[in-house]
Amino acid sequence: MSRNRKDFSQRFRSLAHALEALPDDTAVDGEVVALDAAGRPSFNLLQNQASGEYSLVFYLFDLLIFAGVDLTREPLAARRELLHSKLMQRLSAPIRFSETLRAPPAELVPSGA
């Protein structure tokens, strides 16, 4: 589901299928990314889905509900730890854990980007 409550399970079938390994009544948050042939993120490919020369990846960064338990009042660090320790081993490609980036933004984004 999108943040606007749109069902994207048909558009992103491979991701929906991979997420079937989640326990019932579990909600995660993340970002769908289209990677070009060189492995670089491409928003244009994601929006247009015009070419078969890309792969989709779903980077998970938050665990909101785990097996029916609402975790939204817990600190983000605790939710991410649960996501990493309790769920990621159940999931496989194209689902990935979004690691915490520990660098200033200027180092993460190339100049001129």
Tokens 């600190």 locate to: 75
pLDDT at 50: 52
Q: Is residue 109 part of a domain?
A: no
Residue 95 reports pLDDT greater than 60: yes
Structural domain includes residue 7: no
Of residues 76 and 101, the one with the higher pLDDT is 76
Q: Residue 104: inside a domain, yes or no?
A: no
CA atoms within 13 A on the CB side of 51: 11
For 4-42, what is each residue's pLDDT tens digit? 888 888 888 889 999 999 999 999 999 999 888 888 888
Q: pTM of the entire structure? A: 0.82
Domain assignment present for residue 110? The answer is: no
Tell me which residue range forms the domain holding 29. Answer: 13-99
pLDDT tens per residue, range 43-66: 888 877 655 667 889 999 999 999
Q: Which residues contact 86 (CB under 8 A, 6 or more apart)?
A: 66
User: Would you say residue 53 lies in a domain?
Assistant: yes
What gap in Å lies between CA 4 and CA 76, rounded to an integer?
Answer: 22
Residue 3 lies in a domain: no
The total number of structural domains that make up the chain: 1
Domain containing 53 — which CATH number? 3.30.470.30
